[in-house]
A and B are shown apart, each in its own frame.
Chain A
Amino acid sequence: MTVALEVRNLRAGYAGREILKGVSFQVEADDFFAIIGPSGAGKSTLIRCVNRLVEPTGGQVLFHGVDLLSLDQARLREARRNIGMIFQEFNLIERLSVMDNVLTGRLGYTGTLRSLMRMFTAEDISQALALLDRVGLGEYVDKRADRLSGGQRQRVGIARALIQNPRLLLVDEPTSSLDPKISREVMALIREIAREFHVPVLCNIHDVELATEFCTHVIGLQDGVKKFEGRPGELDAQALQEIYSMEVL
């Protein structure tokens, strides 16, 4: 198995407060990692440190062997093209159509001038259409993003990430804004797609049940420290107690 992502002793913080206190783990090609832990444990920061939406203060993030933390802005942008991201609040561009939202996933490959004219290539458009069909939104191509329901919006978000042809998917609380039924559907879709496209996934999720059901590996984070790593089956009551002890107190 090839290692897609290796995080070594990652540290992050701001204003003198440490949020991540040296976290390490490895994600292999077909892994679906769940990061669980209480609110404020640093889950979101961890995921954002991988593509440097949050700038880490120390450690290494090796993406297919290249340390992302050492890259300059231009090379970082190139690396980001290969990392898809799915957000808690979907982060769609509300006033643009579903098609345009998915096509924004190709901006990393589209020149500035062409993108200002919204000129995307024919291949991009047909790939966007195929992906929208795949996530079940083939009928909604021309709808404006703000006309969709939460579940549909998240599907647009998934299509936008996939059109990047990513080699890693970062998923930040994909189900927190959705109801339980839609949450399961979205998680199932992400898992199916990850298998179909052979993309490893790193997914923050506060819902332990969903994490153990859909993921292949679980990392338990508490107060910026990794307290648990293992298969979902190994996550017993004692491990949970360990991860969530702050809340029990």
Chain B
Amino acid sequence: MKGRAVDIRAAAIAAGRRRGRALRLLAYLAIFGAVLWSVQVIMIADTDWARLAASSAGKTLKSFLEFDYRLLPELVDPTIDTALMATLATLAGLLLALPVAWLGAANISPLGRSSYVVGRFLMTVSRSVHEIVWGLIFVSAVGLGALAGVLAMGVRSVGFISKIIAEAIEDVQPGPIEAIRAVGGTRLQVLFYGILPQIVPVVLGTMIFEWDINIRRSTIMGLVGAGGLGLVFFRQMAMLNYGGVATVILAVLCLIILGEIVSYYARKAVI
């Protein structure tokens, strides 16, 4: 009798699982259908196939592969500029991000809910404006050159760094904070002894990651006249010197690989 009751319940569970599976399958099919539809609308219908067939797409692509090595000596300075811009921008971003994170961490926000909202709003502003747009803004404010690029990337970095730091602050273990409060520590002491040591790995890890991203960003800051490799890139593009463009891309690649290597060791040393 008892065995039979178990069997009935088991059958009900098995039926429920089959329904769940069918629903999941349906959802996958719907997603797949949506993807197919998107491909049809934005790729198949929207591409001028006749022009693509008549044009010299292959030849143009090939001309990118004919690297223009005469450009190399001229790339040294811009490459260094780019790396320095990224470094400065990351540090500026961190400096700006710390107070924003302090505001935007729900558990320590100084004025509670209201300052929390301000902090989160600042994060969103920083992230929702593209670095090129920040670049345009700062170029008009401080003129052409690397300074505008550094400011643009610095402001753009704030959103990500402060968001990650704020979330790390919200996730800290309450134990150490309790301990510092129990010995009679002030709010600032709680911040420095209870919270900061816990988030140091996250802060440093995020900075290394953001630096990595900023190297990439700084290569395109030239688009708005903010110096570095990007400037050379867009000059070559304007001259239709595809080989030169490819050479600049090569330089960017080298710089990013270098950045990758540096951040690997920095991460190991720090965390």
- A residues near B (Cβ < 8 Å) are 99, 117-120, 122, 125-126, 129-130, 133, 141
Looking at the assembled complex, report how far the CB atom of A167 sits from the nearest CB atom of chain B, in whole angstroms.
Answer: 24
Quick one: closest A residue to B5, CB to CB?
A133
A118 close to B21 (CB less than 8 A): yes
A106 and B17 CA atoms in complex are apart in Å by 16
Query: Provided the pairs A117-B21, A118-B21, A119-B21 are in contact, do residues A141 and B13 lie with their beta carbons within 8 angstroms?
Result: yes
A125 close to B21 (CB less than 8 A): no
For B62-80 the 0/1 string (1 means CB < 8 A from A) is 0000000000000000000
B10 close to A126 (CB less than 8 A): yes
Looking at the assembled complex, report how far the CB atom of B149 sits from the nearest CB atom of chain A, in whole angstroms.
Answer: 43
Q: Does B268 contact A (CB under 8 A)?
A: no
Looking at the assembled complex, report how far the CB atom of A111 sits from the nearest CB atom of chain B, in whole angstroms.
Answer: 15
Say which size band chain B's interface belongs to: under 10
5 chain-A/chain-B pairs, Cβ below 8 angstroms: A99-B13, A120-B17, A122-B14, A129-B6, A129-B9
Interface centre among A118, A122, A126, A141 (most CB of B within 10 A): A126
Name the interface residues of B1-29: CB closer than 8 Å to any CB of A.
Answer: 6-7, 9-11, 13-14, 17, 21
Which B residues touch A120, using CB under 8 A?
17
A65 and B9 CA atoms in complex are apart in Å by 40
B7 close to A126 (CB less than 8 A): yes
A133 close to B6 (CB less than 8 A): yes
A133 and B9 CA atoms in complex are apart in Å by 11
For B200-214 the 0/1 string (1 means CB < 8 A from A) is 000000000000000
A118 and B20 CA atoms in complex are apart in Å by 10
Contact of A122 among B6, B9, B10, B21 (CB under 8 A): B10
A130 and B9 CA atoms in complex are apart in Å by 10
Looking at the assembled complex, report how far the CB atom of A45 sits from the nearest CB atom of chain B, in whole angstroms.
Answer: 26
Quick one: closest B residue to A127, CB to CB?
B10
For B31-45 the 0/1 string (1 means CB < 8 A from A) is 000000000000000
A141 and B12 CA atoms in complex are apart in Å by 12
A125 close to B13 (CB less than 8 A): yes
